[in-house]
Chain A
Amino acid sequence: GIQVEQSPPDLILQEGANSTLRCNFSDSVNNLQWFHQNPWGQLINLFYIPSGTKQNGRLSATTVATERYSLLYISSSQTTDSGVYFCAVASNTGFQKLVFGTGTRLLVSP
């Protein structure tokens, strides 16, 4: 099945810093989503981005489907950005089932 790798596994930032999270996947996809899991476990949808670039406030994402990677940019980080960021993809063959990466754990300190 499709493989999803996220990097880095852990990231510590000072408040106000910028960061880039990466997601590599092993096959063609028709769905790619970025999630933020907050301390209570809730998965917050950040982006639905199987291709192209999107921006939402301080966050933006780019997926280069032909090269099988996606990037999540966080600018001017805040302590509330702390948590785990997951990338999940679904192959464009067969029934659409999301496969999750192992996540990037982000800690933003004041």
Chain B
Amino acid sequence: SQTIHQWPATLVQPVGSPLSLECTVEGTSNPNLYWYRQAAGRGLQLLFYSVGIGQISSEVPQNLSASRPQDRQFILSSKKLLLSDSGFYLCASTSGTGVGEQFFGPGTRLTVL
């Protein structure tokens, strides 16, 4: 089965600073990859998904961007963080067929002050 790694686990950043969150996947090749955000006490919102290297689709307009430099690496970035970027960020993966069970990483808790 797939294993998804995320780091850092927690992050506290000042407003206006840059951001880079990393996600790597083991146990599958050519996965579909996803970034979700969960605000406190809320459900998960899909931010970005990728079906392959360099292929990124954005679900909602926002201050964030995503990149996929390698098959099993997915990066979430920002040039200047806003207070509203605070939240719990989860990376997820589905097998390369695109249909089937989705698995989640442990998440990164971001606080912007």
- Chain A contacts to B: CB under 8 angstroms: 30-31, 33, 35, 40-43, 45, 48, 86, 88, 95-103
Contacts and interface: CB of A to CB of B under 8 A. Distances in A.
Contacts of B51: 95
A75 to B, nearest CB: 23
A58 B101 CA distance: 21
Given A41-B88, A41-B109, A100 B99 contact: no
B88 A96 contact: no
A95 B92 CA distance: 15
Nearest to B49: A97
Nearest to A37: B38
Q: Which of B46, B88, B101 has the most CB of A within 10 A?
A: B101
B107 A98 contact: no
Interface string B21-54: 0000000000010100010001111100101000
A102 B42 contact: yes
Given A95-B57, A95-B98, A100-B44, 17 more contacts: A31-B100, A35-B104, A40-B106, A41-B88, A41-B106, A42-B107, A43-B90, A43-B104, A45-B103, A88-B44, A95-B49, A95-B51, A97-B46, A97-B59, A98-B92, A99-B46, A100-B45
